[in-house]
Structure 1
């Protein structure tokens, strides 16, 4: 007796016993089928229990001892659990012909006649999709831990593959239900391509944008971007098929459509982060009526300032030679060439920046005047800090301007500042509104 005959003999034991006891053959067949189903469900439950509590747990214990993290991500994506369902599925698949030997219509009838094989095939297709999906998610999570892929939009790629996987899975399911071939079903989709394009418009745009973002290296995970249209100002934490997630500096999150990265304008600060310095650019506003020519006494005073003592002396010698050569009458200070307190201060600020340890001397260091405004004469400082971290950058900037603002009175200059309420309180007027 071969293996098939042995299975048929085993699955019909209950029926033969019942018939031998005088039970009706049809009733005995139904009871035999129900008993076999109960035994099958019990075996499936035992196998799933053993797989869940022994095989999966053993795999977890094995992954804990390995160095690589790939197998750890397999556990997180339930890969062993899905693979373990293959054995119960095969047991059910190959047991049904023997259990329903007296009821072939349930196995080979149409879908509306409760064809069990259709349900099993659909479940098998879904199980295959789950297994492949867990592998894709495992690969995605593993690649995110690798430094060379940390700034790549891995989520976008994985989502595209998952969409294609589910489309293929639904094609096989539909073909299984209708009895049509997968090829003919795929060809029929061509007629509905316009509808599909309309339904999946955002997905297609996101897919195209993800490719362009990656190929053109527009944005990476970890980049600091400013996107005023969406109120985003912070680090990119995630790039997927439909959206880009930005964690703002106040720890809120802003979601930006991926397609907007190539259709709209935004600011990416990666160039600054990769450069040897971060730019400091700020102006000090000087009251113009405090700018004046320097007398001999003023020059002697400024020669005592270490950073500019050599400059003041050498510059004055050059000016004196020019005035003597051209016979300039210096009884009036306006005549000829002269130094000003603002010019001396500009040189002082320039030397101070060159001496500052936090400033990158290989990049621009400029102290310049801008066009006068109603708020005074802007004296702009432009330089680059070596440390590009935000908190240190702000500290360096504040340290520089603390010093320069405090130094301004030493050069007999005044800062412009709009008068406040306290300033007006110190002004007294008589009854005729004339200042006393």
Structure 2
């Protein structure tokens, strides 16, 4: 203040050379001082911006570190430059204007609000830089920090808002906070999704439940696609039909969500599909059928082994092989099941290290379900569907070779027609 007084007097004396009757409490003096302060602050800002931006941009281009490039692209340096005019206005106000003047108080508060907003903008740019650098790392595939960055931005915004309000009304921020406790219920309703999203974000990150790029499926919201972004309040999912679904973050922890990450990280993708066999086509194998089946490469050894096994059993048990009630016989459905398993064991696109079986399910009015349960060696969706289709093309085409027939509702006439006539 002692330094400001002689500077103010010198400024006034300088003006009196042009306006002899000018006083420091006149409206004209305040208008001239205001224009001088704003003009000086704007000039200093543009000069510093021109000098610093040129120097900073040249330094960024020369630097091999990508961190400064990210900070520059998010405008961190440009936002910090706004502190220069804010500080200039704050300092010149106390120098050129009397402390008790209304303009002094207005400019002081305005410059401080300007500094708060510039600081908040710079912090936002810094947080964006941190998020971008994190997303470039491998850790981003395991856990997203977008939600935490948004929480940090929200916290900064709340602090700046409290400080701004306290500055305008000349009250301590603690008094404002204590007064807000009465509005706690209203605030909880307003920030319900934010609070729930923050808690869900902590659970998701701590337990590594979901990551960006995961394929999720939520039947309730008709969501089926890859996670594009996990935010504080919303999750963005791109469905396979290229539509975008946005849902609350807390729905990932509150709803039934299927995450296909385990399949993507495993050695294959499951094939689990059944065909319905017409029960009228199931029969015991005759000698001619066994002779014909024995020529099939995949089950020739199986047929020989089973025939020898049955002969030994009948001999040891003194059972006549022609006795249909007491003798053991092979069936075409059982032989076909053995063929399919042998076929899958030799299939180059089926993962042999994971579960592989061909099983019967409980029969129904649609026939006897024969289910293939295995895993493809390729997890890509398009190639997976091709592998699965090729397998079942072969399965359906081989049914007549075992005197079997697939059931379908619109072929009721074929169901009563002898196989030999088809």
State if a TM-score over 0.5 links the two structures.
Answer: yes
Match of 1:82 among 59, 79, 82: 79
Deviations 1:138-187 (A, max 9, x none): 21222112111234231210111111111111111121122222233333
Match of 1:382 among 373, 376, 381: 373
Q: CA deviation at 1:318?
A: 0.9
> 1:50 and 2:47 equivalent?
yes
Q: Which structure 2 residue ranges, 5 or more long, are not aligned?
A: 418-422
C-alpha distance in structure 2 between counterparts of 1:218 and 1:5, whole Å: 65
- Where does residue 101 of structure 2 map in the other structure? 105
Deviates more, 1:129-138 or 1:29-38: 29-38
> 1:180 and 2:176 equivalent?
no
Deviations 1:68-104 (A, max 9, x none): 3332232232211111111222222211233324x84
C-alpha distance in structure 2 between counterparts of 1:268 and 1:329, whole Å: 57
Deviations 1:240-272 (A, max 9, x none): 111111110001111111112222212111122
Map 1:278-293; keep pairs closer than 5 Å.
278-293=269-284
C-alpha distance in structure 2 between counterparts of 1:54 and 1:280, whole Å: 65
C-alpha distance in structure 1 between counterparts of 2:278 and 2:183, whole Å: 73
Judged with a 3 Å threshold, the aligned counterparts in structure 2 of structure 1 residues 268 and 361 are, in CA distance, closer, same or farther, namely same
Q: CA deviation at 1:188?
A: 3.0
Q: CA deviation at 1:309?
A: 0.6
TM-score calculated relative to the size of structure 2 = 0.90
Deviations 1:355-414 (A, max 9, x none): 112222121111111111222211110011122221221121112111222122211211
Judged with a 3 Å threshold, the aligned counterparts in structure 2 of structure 1 residues 90 and 273 are, in CA distance, closer, same or farther, namely same
RMSD: 2.6
TM-score calculated relative to the size of structure 1 = 0.87
- Where does residue 12 of structure 2 map in the other structure? 12
SS at match of 2:220: helix
SS at match of 2:375: strand
- Where does residue 431 of structure 1 map in the other structure? none
- Residues 33, 97 of structure 2: 8 Å contact kept: no
Q: CA deviation at 1:302?
A: 1.2
Deviates more, 1:322-331 or 1:386-395: 322-331
- Residues 276, 386 of structure 1: 8 Å contact kept: yes
C-alpha distance in structure 2 between counterparts of 1:80 and 1:54, whole Å: 12
Deviates more, 1:225-234 or 1:206-215: 206-215
C-alpha distance in structure 2 between counterparts of 1:261 and 1:5, whole Å: 64
Judged with a 3 Å threshold, the aligned counterparts in structure 2 of structure 1 residues 408 and 57 are, in CA distance, closer, same or farther, namely farther
- Where does residue 246 of structure 2 map in the other structure? 255
Judged with a 3 Å threshold, the aligned counterparts in structure 2 of structure 1 residues 331 and 105 are, in CA distance, closer, same or farther, namely closer
SS at match of 1:342: helix
SS at match of 2:212: coil
- Where does residue 232 of structure 1 map in the other structure? 223
- Residues 278, 387 of structure 1: 8 Å contact kept: yes
C-alpha distance in structure 1 between counterparts of 2:401 and 2:65, whole Å: 65
Deviates more, 1:374-383 or 1:58-67: 58-67
Map 1:314-393; keep pairs closer than 5 Å.
314-331=305-322, 335-393=326-384
Judged with a 3 Å threshold, the aligned counterparts in structure 2 of structure 1 residues 28 and 230 are, in CA distance, closer, same or farther, namely closer
Map 1:124-143; keep pairs closer than 5 Å.
124-143=115-134
SS at match of 2:352: coil
- Residues 22, 29 of structure 2: 8 Å contact kept: no
- Residues 281, 403 of structure 2: 8 Å contact kept: yes
Match of 1:70 among 59, 67, 72: 67
- Residues 18, 28 of structure 1: 8 Å contact kept: no
Q: How many residues are treated as equivalent by the alignment?
A: 414
C-alpha distance in structure 1 between counterparts of 2:24 and 2:155, whole Å: 49
SS at match of 2:349: coil
Q: CA deviation at 1:274?
A: 1.9
Judged with a 3 Å threshold, the aligned counterparts in structure 2 of structure 1 residues 65 and 150 are, in CA distance, closer, same or farther, namely farther
Q: CA deviation at 1:13?
A: 4.9
- Residues 70, 139 of structure 1: 8 Å contact kept: no
- Residues 303, 313 of structure 1: 8 Å contact kept: yes
- Residues 71, 126 of structure 2: 8 Å contact kept: yes
- Residues 30, 103 of structure 2: 8 Å contact kept: no
- Where does residue 420 of structure 2 map in the other structure? none
Q: CA deviation at 1:8?
A: 3.8
Q: CA deviation at 1:29?
A: 5.9
C-alpha distance in structure 2 between counterparts of 1:15 and 1:331, whole Å: 130
